[in-house]
Each structure stands twice: as structure tokens, then as C-alpha cells.
């Protein structure tokens, strides 16, 4: 299940007990979250680089598209953790690493992990239907 604050995406639930949940935050270098740019719906993946709790990187946006400063980064809806259009952050600076065909876009995260107190766990109602369709497609 996805985890959000009132300001944006926080992470995903890894394990649960009767009274607690263990959450992998977006500030974990092994977590990648499917995301899109609001301006053009281009899809990529958000990952944390381990450098700063306020920033992450959006990868896989092809270099032949324009990326605007301050564009909103949203969940894509392509994962079973988050419905589409939840805010993750906004674009800051971007680079085109040598030999690559996709930008590396620095984003400012919307969730403030320094002051985070309360979070919400998303009960994504369409998750089972989405998973069943994905499984049926893979079985063919």
C-alpha cells in the first residue's frame, strides 16, 4: 500500500502487524516510484540518490522532450501502490548524462521529512482488479 502525507508521497508499506506498519520511505535508495510530469504525461521513475532529504531524481524522460522548471511530478498510476495524480514533487534542474538518451531530473520532494508527523495509508480500491489483469496478460 502507498503512504502519503498531506503534502505528498512518503513511501510504501513493507510489512504490517496487528497495530503497526513498517514503511519504506521514498528516501530509500532501493525504492523506485512510477511517476509522470503533469505538463506532458511523460512517465519515468523517481529514486532517491541519498544526498538530500528534500530532493530526489526523476529518470527515463527522453531527451527529445522539453522539461520545464517547476513542473509537477505526480504518481503515474502504473503501479499497484498509488492511484494516479498524487503529488511527489516539482522539477528543479536537469542534466543529460553523457551517452544517455534520457534526462536525469532533480526534483524537490513535496513531503517534508523533517516535520513529518502523520501519514495516510492508501487503500487503492482498484489494486486487485489491476493485478488480476496484469497477471492474465502475463499468462497469455
Q: Would you kindly state where each structural domain of the chain is located, as residue ranges? A: 2-139
Phi and psi at residue 35, in whole multiples of 5°?
-140, 165
Q: State pLDDT tens for residues 16-35.
A: 999 999 999 999 999 999 99
Quickly name the fold that domain 2-139 has.
Thrombin, subunit H (2.40.10)
What is the per-residue pLDDT across 37-81, written as a single tens digit (0 to 9) for each? 999 999 999 999 998 999 999 999 999 998 889 999 999 988 889
pTM: 0.87
Are 14 and 2 in contact by the 8 Å Cβ rule? The answer is no
Please, are residues 108 and 92 in contact by the beta-carbon 8 Å criterion? yes
103 pLDDT band, cuts 50/70/90, is very high
Measured in degrees and rounded to the nearest 5, phi and psi for residue 23 equal: -115, 135
Among candidate residues 39, 35, 57, the one with its CA nearest the CA of residue 105: 57
CB atoms within 10 A of CB 123: 8
Burial (CB count within 10 angstroms: exposed 0-12, middle 13-18, buried 19+), residue 61: buried
Asked if residue 56 lies in contact with residue 50, where contact means CB atoms within 8 angstroms, the answer is no
Amino acid at each position: 500500500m502507498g503512504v502519503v502525507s498531506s503534502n505528498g508521497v512518503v513511501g510504501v508499506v513493507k510489512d504490517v502487524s496487528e497495530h503497526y506498519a513498517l514503511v519504506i520511505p521514498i528516501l530509500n535508495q532501493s525504492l523506485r516510484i512510477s511517476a509522470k510530469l503533469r505538463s506532458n504525461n511523460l512517465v519515468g521513475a523517481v529514486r532517491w540518490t541519498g544526498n538530500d532529504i528534500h530532493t530526489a531524481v526523476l529518470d527515463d524522460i527522453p531527451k527529445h522532450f522539453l522539461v520545464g522548471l517547476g513542473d509537477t511530478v505526480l504518481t503515474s498510476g502504473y503501479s499497484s501502490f498509488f492511484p494516479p495524480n498524487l503529488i511527489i514533487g516539482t522539477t528543479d534542474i536537469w542534466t543529460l548524462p553523457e551517452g544517455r538518451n534520457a534526462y536525469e531530473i532533480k526534483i524537490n520532494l513535496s513531503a517534508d521529512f523533517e516535520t513529518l508527523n502523520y501519514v495516510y495509508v492508501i487503500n487503492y480500491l482498484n489494486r486487485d482488479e489491476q493485478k488480476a489483469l496484469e497477471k492474465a496478460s502475463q499468462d497469455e
